[in-house]
Amino acid sequence: MTSVWRSMPLRLALMLVILFGTVSLLSLAASYAFTRAAFEQSVRDDLAQDLAGFRAAPSARAVALLVQAESEGTDPDRLVLSYVTRTGRIYGNGAIARDDEGFHIISLEEGRATLDGEYLALSERLYGGRLTIARSRAEIEALQPVFLNILWISLLPTVLIALSGGLILGRRSQRHVEVIRATLEQLTGGDLAARVDRGPRWSDDLARIGGAVNGMAQAQERSVAALRQVSSDIAHDLKTPVQRVSLRLEALADAVPDGEAADLVAQTRTEVDGISSVFTSLLQLAQVENSALKAQFVPVDLTKLCHTMVEVYEPSAAQNGQTLTFDGPDEVMASGEKTLLGQMIANLLENALRHAGQGAVIKVSLENTPTGPLLQVSDNGPGIPENEYPRVTERLYRLEQSRNTPGNGLGLSLVDGVARLHDAELSFEDAKPGLRVSVQFPTL
């Protein structure tokens, strides 16, 4: 919901609501001011007309009688008529009184209570007396709540509808953005077959962005597929000639007597075997990078697989004066391709055996964690500098201190490829001393 509230459609809706609310307030305020002024002017015109009618009376007596007659059927809360004669006698339904607080209108009915509210009044001397006519401002003052009600009735539903519409559009837009984001994450993770699944209710701008992402992914998939095919073809085409050369060198070694020539043949065979190993690793990488293998995944017991690999490499560890141990529960299951997982564990063990040094202790551990199976291979050797962690999985990359040791720089690349194929996370950390390689598998 936080991302929805921060989405562009909802922000646009808020801006439109603020703009519409401001315009509505200004227009209603102007209408209120104009209507109020018109009402006041109408009341003043009525007062002037009433006053003109009383002026037509021929004498003070006639004015008094006329005022008295009209005031008898008039509500003083609405209209006050007052005529004070020269002798001080008051005719009408009210009288004007004044004190320190200002003018007041007092009812001449029984009780002589002061009338509440505000009045507009006209007064002038007529035939020696004073005639006062006052009309209540109640109708004018009633305009304010009327306009406030109009404001709430018109503005509040509009605001609610606009915000609701913005929220709905924001949630829909957020879902579409999430589809694009998830697709980009899949592409970043190596799944180049991922595409943005656009629907008919997508907005034009997001649909265009989704189409651009799909076009980019398609072009990248073609480029990577072509590159992988070229690499695979080269490795495959050269592997057979290299193997034939290796066989002929083997035959030559049997025919050459011991001596300098035999040593040269042995060195050449070693180099050719290294070349063949590179081609084999490249073909394995090409196989690992084929995401179609996921369709062949089955539940695999990692505990049994680790036991097997540790038993296979224990003689090599003992020959180097190294200690190889395994620690884990009786069963840890993961979904994957058994052969590739075995190759991954084998590469991790070979890497540790090769670089940890004489007398090193190599530990393989396996455990079930809340986020899935965790495989770790650690040693107490020289380790890897932390700034080299991001590069050790690059193809054919070798550390400077490993230049003189056997290997082709593809072992950890294959480990990374198998991990990514199984949606596992490969990480490196300092074991203090040594290196700890962790493979966090997803839950089964």
Instruction: Give me the tens of pLDDT residue by residue for the chain, a chain 444 residues long.
Output: 565 556 666 677 777 777 777 888 888 889 889 988 998 899 889 889 988 988 888 888 898 899 888 888 787 788 888 888 888 888 888 777 666 666 667 766 665 556 777 888 888 898 888 888 888 888 888 888 888 888 788 777 877 777 777 677 767 777 777 888 888 888 876 677 788 888 777 777 778 888 888 888 888 777 766 666 666 566 566 666 767 777 777 777 777 777 777 777 777 777 666 666 665 656 556 666 666 667 778 999 999 999 999 999 999 889 889 999 999 998 999 998 888 888 889 889 988 888 888 889 999 999 999 999 999 999 988 888 887 777 777 765 555 444 445 544 566 878 888 888 888 999 999 888 889 999 999 987
Comparing CA positions, the residue from 103, 101, 68 lying closest to residue 84 is 68
Q: Cis link prior to 257 (omega < 30° from 0)?
A: no
Q: Are residues 404 and 387 part of one domain? A: yes
**Inside any domain, residue 188:** no
Is the Cβ–Cβ distance between 423 and 440 less than 8 Å? no
**CB neighbours of 163 closer than 8 A, spacing ≥ 6?**
10, 13, 14, 17
Dump strand ranges (E) for 16-136: 79-84, 90-92, 94-99, 102-107, 119-126, 129-136
Separation between Cα atoms, residue 248 and residue 253, nearest integer Å: 9
Q: Which of 292, 326, 358 is the last residue of a domain?
A: 292
**Inside any domain, residue 207:** no
130 forms beta bridges with: 84, 125
**Inside any domain, residue 225:** no
Looking at the structure of the chain, the number of domains it has is 3
**Inside any domain, residue 58:** yes
Give the structural domain span for 277. Answer: 235-292
- What is the residue whose two structure tokens read 């109408």? 42
Is the Cβ–Cβ distance between 273 and 406 less than 8 Å? no
Comparing CA positions, the residue from 363, 229, 326, 319 lying closest to residue 283 is 229
The CATH number of residue 333's host domain is 3.30.565.10
**CB neighbours of 174 closer than 8 A, spacing ≥ 6?**
3, 4, 7
The pLDDT score that the predictor gives to residue 3 is 59
Is the Cβ–Cβ distance between 80 and 93 less than 8 Å? yes
**Inside any domain, residue 148:** no
**Inside any domain, residue 325:** yes
Backbone phi, psi, residue 326, to 5°: -130, 140
Rg, the chain, Cα only:
48
Separation between Cα atoms, residue 41 and residue 49, nearest integer Å: 12
Q: Are residues 323 and 272 part of one domain? A: no
Q: Which of 106, 123, 143 is the last residue of a domain?
A: 143
The helix (H) or strand (E) run that includes residue 336 is strand 333-336
